[in-house]
Amino acid sequence: MKEEWADAHLEYITEEEENKDILFVYSDGSLTEQKGRRHTRYGVIGYNQGKKVFETSRAMGQHTEVFNAEMAGLHMAAIEARHFIKNEPPDNRPQKIAFCTDNTGAIQRIFKGSPGKAQAHSRGFRYEILNILNTDEEAMVAAPLAGARDTRA
């Protein structure tokens, strides 16, 4: 299943690579251990017209759960997407924003709300998306899963 999705996604990306109307935004959280210490972080990257248009990452601290890093990454992805769209000339702004992640639990919770520490990121994500949608009536947002990994509790 994961390989089939990856192949279909790669084919779609290849077909739409030069399309100025689509902003692809990827987000991922990670947890590693080095010398007995946990390291949690997220990374975000955006592509438009086949070019990297933004990239950011942040360490979250050794006591942060990877789910919270995933949620923080999606929140930052929405912030970066909004900034990119806002700074583009009106005739060059993408109309479709595709947020891609590999965590089904995070993508479901980011839209519905989330208990605990991730709640602020869920609210922040929705706030940023609403800003994008309210600014441009033509804008559309999708959240496909990139190689889904179900981590729901």
Alpha-carbon torsion (12, 16, 17, 21), positive or negative: negative
* CATH number for the domain harbouring residue 96: 3.30.420.10
Give the pLDDT mean for 60-83: 90
Q: Which range among 22-31, 113-122, 141-150 has the greatest average pLDDT? A: 22-31
Q: How far apart are CA 142 and CA 97, in angstroms?
A: 6
Residue 113 burial (CB < 10 Å; 0-12/13-18/19+)?
A: exposed
The yes-or-no verdict on residue 142 having pLDDT over 50 is: yes
Number of domains in the chain: 1
Residue of 89, 91, 92, 96 lying closest to 132 (CA atoms): 96
Q: How confident is the model at residue 145 (pLDDT cuts 50, 70, 90)?
A: low
Angle at 78 between CA 129 and CA 13, to 5 degrees: 105
Q: What is the DSSP letter of 50?
A: T
Residue of 35, 20, 31, 98 lying closest to 68 (CA atoms): 31
- DSSP string of 78-109? HHHHHHHHHHS-GGG--SEEEEEEEEHHHHHH
Q: How far apart are CA 49 and CA 29, in angstroms?
A: 25
Residue of 76, 136, 135, 74 lying closest to 99 (CA atoms): 74
Domain housing 112: 2-149
pTM: 0.83
What's the mean pLDDT when you consider all of the chain?
83
Query: Tens digits of per-residue pLDDT, 5-55?
Result: 667 777 877 787 788 899 999 999 988 888 888 889 999 999 999 899 999
